[in-house]
């Protein structure tokens, strides 16, 4: 009878050790990966307003989570905390203008095109009117709840400090995500 209790105790201890070591193994095999977002070009057509906040860009970025997992060696897994680690906006055309008309900018993400709810991810105050690129300071917020498996929505607002010196401005957005990948 005592042998049965000892055997059951050993089995229980073994199961606890195996289950806790599986968790440790998963922790050890998880890692962060940088995912460069595809460059997105857009055309901003200014309004007649010369001040106030204006929507510069609104659209979506493709981020197929299954493909990202597979590209990093996971046949199945989880995407954990995800942060936007870099974001910049650059004027491409006309080549003779700068961000002299931009006081500041901010970016936010959402899981849907209505941006309900929206999550702020970064901002910048334009310190140099001769800049053709503004680089946002990211706030390292976890945006994983806003990734719906294939894409997420992204928009940039700008606060104007004067008239935009063109009828249109072609710009592009570059960005990077940091994703925590975990095996199942």
Predicted TM-score (pTM) of this structure: 0.81
Mean per-residue pLDDT of the chain: 86
- pLDDT, tens only, 94-122: 999 999 999 999 999 999 999 999 999 99
Comparing 73 with 127, which gets the higher pLDDT?
127
> Number of C-alpha atoms within 13 angstroms, CB side, residue 101?
23
Q: Where are the domains of the chain?
A: 30-183
Neighbours of 11 (CB within 10 A): 10
**Rounded to whole angstroms, how far apart are CA atoms 8 and 6?**
6
Residue 73 pLDDT: 83
Comparing 90 with 151, which gets the higher pLDDT?
90
Residue 75 pLDDT: 80
Please, what CATH class does the domain formed by 30-183 belong to? mainly beta
Q: Is the C-alpha dihedral spanning 83, 36, 57, 44 positive or negative? A: positive
Task: Assess whether pLDDT exceeds 50 at residue 17.
Answer: no
The answer to whether 155 touches 55, Cβ cutoff 8 Å, is: yes
Asked if residue 103 has a cis previous peptide bond (ω within 30° of 0), the answer is: no
- pLDDT, tens only, 57-77: 999 998 888 888 888 888 878
pLDDT band (50, 70, 90) for residue 13: very low
Residue 121 pLDDT: 97
Residue 119 pLDDT: 96
Residue 2 pLDDT: 65
Residue 3 pLDDT: 59
């Amino acid at each position: 009878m005592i042998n049965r209790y000892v055997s059951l105790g050993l089995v229980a201890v073994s199961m606890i050790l195996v289950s806790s070591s599986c968790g440790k193994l998963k922790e050890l095999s998880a890692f962060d990966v940088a995912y460069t977002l595809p460059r997105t070009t857009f055309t901003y057509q200014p309004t007649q307003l010369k001040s106030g906040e204006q929507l510069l860009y609104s659209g979506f970025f493709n981020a197929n989570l299954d493909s990202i997992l597979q590209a990093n060696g996971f046949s199945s897994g989880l995407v954990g905390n995800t942060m936007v680690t870099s974001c910049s906006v650059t004027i491409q055309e006309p080549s003779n203008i700068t961000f002299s008309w931009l006081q500041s900018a901010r970016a936010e993400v959402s899981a849907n095109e209505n941006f309900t709810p929206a999550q702020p991810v970064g901002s910048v105050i334009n310190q140099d009117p001769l800049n053709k690129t503004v680089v946002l300071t990211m706030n390292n917020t976890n945006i994983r709840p806003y990734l719906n498996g294939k894409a997420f929505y992204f928009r940039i607002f700008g606060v104007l400090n004067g008239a935009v010196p063109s009828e249109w401005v072609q710009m592009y957005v570059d960005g990077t995500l940091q994703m925590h990948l975990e095996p199942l």
